[in-house]
Structures are given as structure tokens and as C-alpha cells.
Amino acid sequence: MPSYQLTVNGRTRTVDAEADTPLLWILRDTLGLTGTKFGCGQGVCGSCTVHVDGKAQKSCQTSLKEAAGHSIVTIEGLSKDGSHPVQKAWITEDVAQCGYCQPGMIMSAAALLKRKAHPSDGDIDEAFADHVCRCGTYPRVRKAVKRAAGGVK
């Protein structure tokens, strides 16, 4: 079985697995980082979103071989204590209901704000177009993104 080096949450790890193994399963099953959720396995729900070199990416659609050599950040690596502005805004705006999709949404929000400090409603809608929240918390997501950007007091 081939070996691959991954840098996850700032720590370099060697992983022995098949090249086409989805990054999602490496994170969850091999590295024990279960904050990244399995939703659809087809890249359409967004629950498995992580950062790869600072960009939001679906880990269920990213192979181990594609991820090797890149910097990966999971929800566990966003902040050690929940102090990231997006995490704080999520709590303040009471976004989560069941919470299952929230790690992926938080990761997409953080990537959006890194790319665009003060996103418009259209920017937010575009960033979350491929996320599915069965609880329908989209209005609170938008408000939390704006709060994290400094637009809501």
C-alpha cells in the first residue's frame, strides 16, 4: 500500500492507503478527526467541507493522492477553543439546530471571509449554493456570516 504525506491542522502525517481513498475517510477513520461529516458522498451537500490550501473543498470528492502535499484544515483546526470569528458568530446567531451540516458550513464561511472580507448576500448565497441544511437555517447562516464579517452588531 502506498504512503502519502498530509499536513492536517498544521501537523504532518504519513498515511498508508490507496491513492483513490476519499480524504473524508482518511480524516475520519485514519486520523480520528470526526468533526468533518459524511453526508452524501457525492459533493452536493457540503457536510464534508474542509480547507485545502485555504480554499473550501469537499473532502468526499478529494482523493488522498490529490490532497497529498497540500495544507488541509478541518473544523478541529479552525481554532482550538471555538474562538474563530465564524464559530463565535454561529453561536451568537444560534445557527445550528441538529448541527450535522454545520462544520462544513462553518468551513465554507471561513473560506469565504478569507477571500472576501465583506461579502454581499449574493456572495453568501453563492458560497452556500452546494450546502444542504435539512433544518433550513439559511437565514441564520447569512446573518452569522455578516456578523463574522463585522456587519451585524
**pLDDT at residue 135 tops 90:** no
Q: What is the CATH number of the domain that holds 112?
A: 1.10.150.120
Instruction: Tell me the per-residue pLDDT of 43-73, one tens digit each, with 9 for 90 and over.
Output: 999 999 999 999 999 999 999 999 999 999 9
Q: What is the CATH number of the domain that holds 53?
A: 3.10.20.30
Same domain? For 98 and 67 the reply is no
Q: Structural domain of residue 135, as residue ranges?
A: 85-148
Instruction: Tell me the per-residue pLDDT of 71-112, one tens digit each, with 9 for 90 and over.
Output: 999 999 999 899 999 999 999 999 998 889 999 999 999 999
Same domain? For 10 and 72 the reply is yes
Q: Which helix (H) or strand (E) holds 46?
A: none
- List helix spans (H) across 21-73: 23-25, 64-67
In the chain, DSSP assigns E strands to: 3-8, 11-16, 49-52, 55-58, 71-73
pTM: 0.94
d(CA 144, CA 119): 12
d(CA 89, CA 119): 15
Same domain? For 40 and 60 the reply is yes
Please name the residue that has the C-alpha cell 463574522: 148
Read off the pLDDT of each residue in 104-123 and give the average, rounded to a whole number: 96
